[in-house]
Amino acid sequence: MEHSLSTSLTDDVTADVRVPASARAQRLRSGIVLATLLTCQMMIVLDITVMNVALPRIQTDLHFSSTGLSWVMNSYSLVFGGLLLLGGRAGDLFGRRNLFIAGAALFTVASLAGGLAQSAGWLLAARVVQGIGGAMAAPNTLALLTTTFPEPKARMRVLALFSGMSSAGFAIGLIVGGLLTEWLGWRSVMFINVPFGLVVVVLAILNLSAAQREPAHLDLPGALTATSGVAALVYGFISAASDGWGSATTDIALAAGVGLLVAFLVIESRASQPLLPLRLFTDRNRATAYANMFLVPMAGMSMFFFLTQFLQNVLGLSALATGFAFLPTALLMFTMIRLIPRLLTRFGPRPVTVTGAASMVAGLVLLTRLTPDSGYFPLLFIAMVLMGCGIGLSVSPLSVIIMSNVEPHEAGAAGGALQTLQQTGAALGLAVMVTIFGTAARGAGGSAQHALVSGMTTAFAAGAGIAALTLAVALSFRALSSD
């Protein structure tokens, strides 16, 4: 029977005064496990954004076309997003430790191969394999955290760390990408994963305990429809960003994706051992958190994507300076890691996430005031501070809310659903924003810079509208005091 989030967050756990002699060793091992899992998650999340700054040099070295270059990002997103649900449930059934180690090893090998790429096709193949490895490791990272730290307060702390690392990774990826590309070249963006990946794999083999496997069979019809449906949707969103919403490819992909996901839900409602147990959505707070895990990246991605272009193409900053311009956002996201456990315990999910959503709205509304003459201070700096607080407060509690009272045998499925919604929301948000940007820029007239900024501010306005929707959803969280 599931316990309420209120019970999970407020239970006082007593301990014997006489701590066993092995307690220190156990705490050290738990610390190593936590560092191992968080390092892997940061590595996977960084890879989503770290490549952005390196794209111009990749295009020059490997002779990508302008349209083909987008697939350096999209090939990873498509495979990663499409396989997350399958990776999470496979970990539940076949062993999370095994899937995590195999996924981290595959991701590391693919990163080495990508750094050695001599052609466009070689790099794209490596990115696909990276996506497969990431989809094996990421949902099982979250499930292993949940089951390794069963005590409620410890679980809340590590889940807040996980969520904060995931959120801040988007901003840190731009900083790391700028540093590596500027100093060591674009290949270092791929090679940097290798030493970290090797450490993760070795530490996982030595310290992760093998979790008991569930005596069940994988829901293959659910796996096929879920993976194909999410992949079709992600592909449709990618197509919309490049070809527009009226493109036949876009329409077919999105229609196929929706149809396959409807079929998936029908299959899951009838399956005795579903890939995604629909009862995960019967808890109001968890269902609300899932909804905002989809919506917040939709709104937030516009800031990272368009401000990167504004800083380089309008303000004329280098790749390195552009990365450091996002430092206020990254620092504030990390600050939320320390604050979220105490804020959730004291105030509950509704005030925390409502405050975060309101801060996001304010930051995006402020960005609609950008002009070609705007400098970094004060407008951009204040907007980045608001967005750092907003995304941190909006996203960091969601992993805690979703995973804090999940039954252990469903932790992989719950984590896979969380990350699938996050990835799909980011892909959809970027497609919507790019389409709005292109339409507004073409109709703006004037100089190229004026058209560029006009398109961006229109996209930011749309992002503010989505952020306002996250605010409305956050209001439906149940207070901790009610059950």
* Per-residue H/E/C for 207-241: HCCCCCCCCCCCCHHHHHHHHHHHHHHHHHHHHHH
pLDDT at residue 201, as a whole number = 97
d(C-alpha 449, C-alpha 455), whole Å: 10
pLDDT at residue 216, as a whole number = 60
Max mean pLDDT among 71-80, 97-106, 341-350 falls in 97-106
The average pLDDT across 202-207 equals: 94
pLDDT at residue 361, as a whole number = 97
The answer to whether 264 touches 229, Cβ cutoff 8 Å, is yes
Q: Is the pLDDT of residue 152 over 50?
A: yes
pLDDT digits (tens, 9 = 90+) for 302-321: 788 788 889 888 998 887 88
Q: Is the pLDDT of residue 354 over 80?
A: yes
pLDDT digits (tens, 9 = 90+) for 390-436: 998 998 888 888 988 888 878 888 888 888 888 888 878 877 888 88
Give this prediction's pTM.
0.83
> What's the pLDDT band for 1 if we cut at 50, 70, 90?
very low
The average pLDDT across 144-171 equals: 81
Contacts of 218 (CB under 8 A, 6+ apart): 89, 90, 93, 275
Query: 479: helix, coil or strand?
Result: coil
d(C-alpha 217, C-alpha 94), whole Å: 9
382 against 51, higher pLDDT:
382
The average pLDDT across 205-225 equals: 79
Residue type for 146, please? T
Residue type for 411, please? A
Residue in the structure block whose two tokens are 């996901």: 261
Contacts of 286 (CB under 8 A, 6+ apart): 5, 280, 401, 402, 405
Q: Give the residue from 77, 64, 176, 128 showing the smallest Cα distance to 429.
A: 77
pLDDT at residue 336, as a whole number = 80
Residue 268, CA distances (Å) to 91, 103, 261, 265 in order = 18, 26, 10, 5
> What's the pLDDT band for 252 if we cut at 50, 70, 90?
very high
d(C-alpha 256, C-alpha 478), whole Å: 35
